[in-house]
Amino acid sequence: MIKELKRFYFKSKKGIWHLSPKVKCKYSWYGNDYGGFYVCDEILGENAIVYSFGIGLDISFDRTMIERYGCQVFGFDPTPKSIQWVSEQVLPDGFTFFDFGIANKTGYVDFNLPKNPDYVSGSAVVHSDVDSSKKVSVLLKSLVDITESLGHQKIDVLKMDIEGFEYKVIDSILSSPVEIDQILIEFHDRFFDKGIECSKKAVQKLSEAGYDIFAVSDSFEEVSFIRRDLIK
């Protein structure tokens, strides 16, 4: 029912076709209905490096990546409830968790907690689902600083579900020297008055940097990009 409501919401908005796939490749859904993304299988090999920004209370995407391909998955989330939840899980081999998030620069920021105390996801930006009067200080790091500390020069898959902050960090990701094959983003248009315009600009930036859409979820939120030079 929730998925159908999301689908209705997005189909009722004008300009949705900026999310239409531009290239073709073989892909599969990784994770459950709530926390999954489409991944292009044909260029994914064993021991691929996966960065998973935004864990929440769900590592189904990360587990599937490890189970199917033996990927090395690095998960990141500064959210207090997420950090607690991860600490209580039996994590799969190949999954490493860090209790900080991604930003355009490294430093501590005010992190807005959800309005509903039963919810998990906070955000580094103010939007309709968070309470700006309820904040905690969290550490965020730039992609350059993260990859340098972990010794990675290439990321096979970068997944980002960071509750509206994706619009703030795309430029720094694209300008980083690290090579990224696939970028998977959950766009949070619904949180902002001009959210659709934000997503349009983000898609345009990714296109100009050489990334095209190859798959979109039924809700039109999870959008998968691939370097177009990898598709023959």
DSSP 123: B
**CA 7: distance to chain centroid?**
19
More confident residue, 111 or 51: 51
Task: Give the DSSP H/E element, type plus range, for residue 10.
Answer: helix 2-11
Where along the chain do its domains lie?
21-101+149-230
Per-residue model confidence (pLDDT) at position 6: 46
Residue 130 pLDDT > 60: yes
- Alpha-carbon distance 180 to 191, whole Å? 27
Range scoring the smallest mean pLDDT among 89-103, 117-131, 196-210? 117-131
- Alpha-carbon distance 225 to 221, whole Å? 13
Q: What is the mean pLDDT of the chain?
A: 90
For 7-27, b where at least 16 C-beta lie within 10 A, e where not — what string? Answer: eeebeeeeebebbebebebeb
Determine the topology of domain 21-101+149-230 in CATH.
Answer: Rossmann fold (3.40.50)
Per-residue model confidence (pLDDT) at position 16: 64
